[in-house]
Amino acid sequence: MPLMKIDLIKGRSQSEIKEILDISYQVMLKAFHAPQGDRYQIVTQHEAFEMQLLDTGLGFDRTDQVIVFSLITRPRTTEEKKNFYFLLVKELGDKLGIQSEDVMINLTVNTDEDWSFGFGRAQFLTGEL
């Protein structure tokens, strides 16, 4: 945990998608101090017309390489969040050439009682995790 949902426009290669997943996972581990194996990622690919992501008046344009990361996660400190945002954009840029304006990130906070990893049990509450 967190659960990371990644939305992007169709057309990327399988290897590039795998690298996006690997980069975002490694950044999440580092920024949120999560344990190895805490990997829950889902990629959804869209037609270009299905993703309308303007700049909210900040004065930049996005390209067809835009990626939206939506994380459902436990509460994180402001510093952890800022570190995650910075490191994710930096690593995607350094390793894949993705422009910083093409990375949008959203965190939704929930608590331990909001998770069941299987078997119909709340493993954080039962002590299994």
Catalytic residues: 2
Q: Return the structure tokens found at 85.
A: 């945002």
The answer to whether 84 and 73 are in contact (CB under 8 A) is: no
Q: Give the pairing of strands 3-9 and 67-73.
A: antiparallel
For residue 105, what are its two tokens? 């990130």
Tokens 């910075």 locate to 86
Whether 31 and 2 have beta carbons less than 8 Å apart is answered as no
Helix (H, G, I), strand (E, B) or coil at 128: coil
- Strand 67-73 and strand 40-46: pairing? unpaired
